[in-house]
Amino acid sequence: MRMYDIIKKKRDGSALSKEEIDFFIKGYVDGSIPDYQASAFCMAVFYSGMTEEETANLTLSMAHSGDTVDLSRFGTLSADKHSTGGVGDKTTLIVAPICASLGCVMAKMSGRGLGHTGGTIDKLESIEGFNTSLSPDEFFNQVEKTGIAVVGQTGNLTPADKKLYALRDVTATVDSLPLIASSIMSKKLAAGAHNIVLDVKCGSGAFMKTPEDAEALATDMVKIGKMCGRNTAAVITNMNRPLGNNIGNALEVQEAMDVLKNSGPEDLKEVCLALATEIVSSTKGTSREEASNLTKDSLKSGKAYDKFMEWVKAQGATQNELSFKKADYTHDVISETDGYIVSSDAEKIGISAVILGAGREKKEDTIDMSAGIILNKKTVDKVNKGDVIATLYSCNKNSFESAEKQFLDALEFSENEPTNEPLIYTVVK
Ligand code: URA
């Protein structure tokens, strides 16, 4: 078999066999297939697409390219959630303890921030003492005791995806449906959970810009999960504007804790309850209605908050009451006009938070955990001239000018009241 022939076959629109896909993945991971051929392969897939069978084969080949996590000791109770990435998306911090408080086993791996989107592992590291790299024994002991652990991705999980994702990032081949679906699902399959719920974000701050594209991606991923014997569902949610009001690591943990105390912003709570409902209903086999009541009750009764505190303490948090370092400087963004906000572009707001220090511009950058933005107003809200639209937080005073410019560029105003878009478009099962 030759990589040249595989690239040519895909370029000309034919479907690849399982053997050809396995040959590519194995060769790319062991270094016998060079980056330039892998780039050409990704571009051929970008233009020619893949059949469902090819996408499933690519997913399985990547899932088995390295270590896999064995969660079989938890039977069918293990559950995982995955977000395709957004701004202000702190749902794991809320959904995981809700579900664990109801008996689901949340043994989870999460990622760091990427570009304008934040990552759960960075957020958790804003909690003093929290350890995101447990050994396998520590991980399993904690899950057995508390029903919940969240760690960073281990060294050799899906090495094929790690290499391919980095390559796609610099060859303009990230936004290909079969490549995204196989990248995400290979990691979920390797991470071992029996129940998988995907939060497929849709809008300006997401890979998928329209509900139709998001549904196509969700449908492919759900099919792959089911084909591999996992209960899989996807919730398509709005990412035309940030989720909740806080963006930035420590600020997001604090907002997540508000929701866990059954307060906090309604949009964030609604998305979290929708995701938790899918996880609980698929893991416990209850109806959606019953699962929805259970998840709401977990927030109201304080069970979810207690589980969150049990979790973070088990994983190293040193304080009994969590407190967070405040940013050295703050800066209010003031409205210069009267009207309604008709658009608050999530990607641009995410970039503004990165400028303040909440994310990395280069891989080796360190994060300012206290940096970020608290929104007072966002899409559909009315503003008057002189209102504080948002407050910026940073330890670098010099970042405010460019962060504010970027932030204001994300907003569009109108005299007319806009209609609100749905927060949750649909559930794919
Ligand atoms: N997230 C992933 O893990 N992979 C992709 O390809 C896109 C988003």
Q: If you average pLDDT over residues 310-317, what whole number do you get? A: 97
> How far does residue 81's CA lie from ligand 1's centre (Å)?
14
| DSSP character at residue 407 | H
pLDDT at 131 over 70: yes
Average pLDDT taken over every residue of the chain:
94
How many CB atoms are located within 10 Å of the residue 196 CB?
29
pLDDT at 324 over 70: yes
Task: Quickly list DSSP for 156-179.
Answer: TBSHHHHHHHHHHHTTT-S--HHH
For the stretch 18-27, pLDDT in tens is: 999 999 999 9
Question: Which residue lies with its CA nearest to atom 6 of ligand 1?
Answer: 180
Q: What are phi and psi of 279, to 5 degrees?
A: -65, -50
What is residue 404's predicted lDDT score, i.e. its pLDDT?
Answer: 98
> How far does residue 184's CA lie from ligand 1's centre (Å)?
5
Question: Which residue lies with its CA nearest to atom 5 of ligand 1?
Answer: 180
Q: Is the CB of 186 under 6 A from ligand 1?
A: no
For the stretch 387-413, pLDDT in tens is: 999 999 999 999 999 999 999 999 999
For the stretch 150-175, pLDDT in tens is: 999 777 899 999 899 888 888 889 88
What is residue 363's predicted lDDT score, i.e. its pLDDT?
Answer: 67
Domains and CATH numbers, the chain: 3-49 (1.20.970.10), 72-314 (3.40.1030.10), 329-414 (3.90.1170.30)
Is residue 168 part of the annotated active site? The answer reads yes
Q: Which residues lie across from 375 on neighbouring strands?
A: 390
Q: How far apart are the first and last CA of the chain?
A: 38
> How far does residue 7's CA lie from ligand 1's centre (Å)?
22
Task: Quickly list DSSP for 374-399.
Answer: EES--TT-EE-TT-EEEEEEES-GGG
Is residue 82 part of the annotated active site? The answer reads yes
Q: Is the CB of 182 under 6 A from ligand 1?
A: no
Q: Which of these is catalytic: 10, 187, 241, 303?
A: 187
Please tell me the distance from the alpha carbon of residue 285 to that of residue 107, in angstroms, as a whole number.
19
Confidence of residue 205 (pLDDT cuts 50, 70, 90): confident
What is residue 361's predicted lDDT score, i.e. its pLDDT?
Answer: 74
CA distances from 3 to 58, 62, 264, 317 (A): 15, 17, 53, 49
What is residue 206's predicted lDDT score, i.e. its pLDDT?
Answer: 84
| DSSP character at residue 73 | G
> Which atom of ligand 1 sits closest to the CA of residue 174?
6
335: nearest Cα among 289, 377, 373, 363: 377
Strand pairing category for 195-202 and 79-83: parallel
Q: If you average pLDDT over residues 77-88, what whole number do you get? A: 92
Phi-psi region for residue 193, left (φ > 0), alpha (ψ -120 to 50) or beta?
beta
Strand pairing category for 411-414 and 231-238: unpaired
How many CB atoms are located within 10 Å of the residue 170 CB?
10
Is residue 183 part of the annotated active site? The answer reads yes
